[in-house]
Amino acid sequence: MTRPDFRLFRAAWALGLALSLLHAASCAVYREESPPFVLGKPRCAIGGDQGPFLLAGIEFDFYNLDDREVSGMEVSAMVYERETSENPFIGSNKIRASLEGSVPARAKARLAIPLDEYICAIPGEPYIIDFFYVSRVAYSDGTSWSDPLGTYYTGSE
């Protein structure tokens, strides 16, 4: 009687064990958490004579849910024309902005990102803001939180 060949069985068992360990390790490393803030729907405002922009900008509410004071943040968004859903700018329609200023712990702030440097003509209608997210939050204690891929994005429409 020939002895059964267990090489294939051992290889399959080793592969299964390796995949199980990889899965367990990835779950331990990537723990899904809620961000330490809530974003209000962004909206495009035209003409901000007294605000941080003159021609147009993106306004949004930022609710700091953390017990630490926010000292600044980096924000990203995609901007489109309302009628055509196309890029309204000569260059890229991906906006990246750094905002300085504090948002106290457990407080709300209305923030704005100027679009003036991207615009070559004042829009007749507000732009559509899509894939809007905070990519980094800096705290006054020197720590930070980041979402480089835009996992927690929102949009105006």
Q: What's the average model confidence in pLDDT over 12-26?
A: 56
Q: What is the pLDDT of residues 39-81, one digit of tens each?
A: 999 999 998 676 789 999 999 999 999 999 999 999 999 999 9
Position 153 in a domain: no
Position 21 in a domain: no
- Residue 110 parent element (H or E): strand 108-114
The answer to pTM > 0.85 is no
Position 101 in a domain: yes
Position 3 in a domain: no
Structural domain tally of the chain?
A: 1
In the predicted structure, residue 27 carries a pLDDT above the cut 50: no
In the predicted structure, residue 12 carries a pLDDT above the cut 80: no
Predicted confidence at residue 157, as pLDDT, reads: 62
Position 11 in a domain: no
Q: Could you list the residue range(s) of the whole structural domain that residue 45 is in?
A: 37-146
Predicted confidence at residue 145, as pLDDT, reads: 98
Q: What is the pLDDT of residues 86-139, one digit of tens each?
A: 999 999 999 999 999 999 999 999 999 999 999 988 889 999 999 999 999 999
Position 105 in a domain: yes
Query: In CATH, what number is assigned to the domain containing residue 49?
Result: 2.60.40
Cβ-count burial of 88 within 10 angstroms (0-12 exposed, 13-18 middle, 19+ buried)? buried
Distance, CA of 150 to chain centre: 4
> What is the Cα–Cα distance from 100 to 97, expressed in whole angstroms?
10
Position 2 in a domain: no
